[in-house]
Amino acid sequence: MEALFDKTSAAMVFAYRFAAQQSARAPAIDPTPMGSGKGLAGLDGAGEAAAILRKAGSLGKVMEAALRARYGENLAPCVCCGLEGPHPVWVGACRLLTTEVAMAVAPGSCTERLVHDLVMRHFNRRTTLDAIAEKHRLSIDKVKKANAPVKRALNRLEAQAQAEISDLLIEAGVLPKEAEA
């Protein structure tokens, strides 16, 4: 049996973004085939995405949050106005990770809001450290000092989550034995 993905990151992006990639199409109007050519469209794709997400969920809340924050959609249209904003599920994953890594920074040395902004920046580089410093009325040096342990803790969590999900996906035949992250 041929593995469905070459890399862990490809499998995770597929799983976390599957629903957003689907759209109603009329085959008579748009005959372009959907999917990767490996049967990953429609119900087959939904089933495979669900199986991968189940495996990610089996790693525990924190590890799954690290994977979701890295590979999930981070933007979604607002249900009220339609403008793009942070995806609520992605923000929830970042919030869980904020709580997890808050102790990586010396307690009392910075606020949970600052840590949350640093966590969100780690996974979505649209915000600069300068902007975070300005928002929190701190010097850039203080923000950089707070960012270093947050970044180390998140890198450690991500590496562990990557290794664990890779092992599960290789075992399931979703990835080849020599798969890379």
In contact, 110 and 98? CB cutoff 8 Å = no
Count Cβ atoms within 10 A of the Cβ of residue 94 and give its class: 0-12 exposed, 13-18 middle, 19 or more buried: buried
Q: What letter does residue 81 receive in the DSSP assignment?
A: T
180 vs 101, which has greater pLDDT? Answer: 101
Closest to 36 (Cα-Cα) out of 54, 17, 58, 64: 17
Q: Residue 76 in 3-state DSSP?
A: strand
pLDDT in tens, 67-96: 999 999 988 888 888 889 889 999 999 999
Average pLDDT score over residue span 30-44: 54
Give me 91's structure tokens.
Answer: 């923000």
Q: What is the pLDDT of residue 110?
A: 81
pLDDT in tens, 99-122: 999 877 766 678 899 999 999 999
Output the average pLDDT for the chain. 85
Q: What is the pLDDT of residue 39?
A: 54
Confidence of residue 25 (pLDDT cuts 50, 70, 90): very low
Q: What is the pLDDT of residue 29?
A: 47
Confidence of residue 48 (pLDDT cuts 50, 70, 90): confident
Q: What is the pLDDT of residue 67?
A: 97
Cβ of 91: how many Cβ atoms within 10 Å? 16
Share of the chain above pLDDT 70, in %: 83
C-alpha 177/C-alpha 9 separation (Å) is 15
Strand partners, 85: 76
Q: What is the pLDDT of residue 161?
A: 97
Closest to 111 (Cα-Cα) out of 98, 121, 124: 98
Residue 97 has pLDDT above 90, yes or no: yes
C-alpha 14/C-alpha 31 separation (Å) is 22
Q: Residue 133 in 3-state DSSP?
A: helix
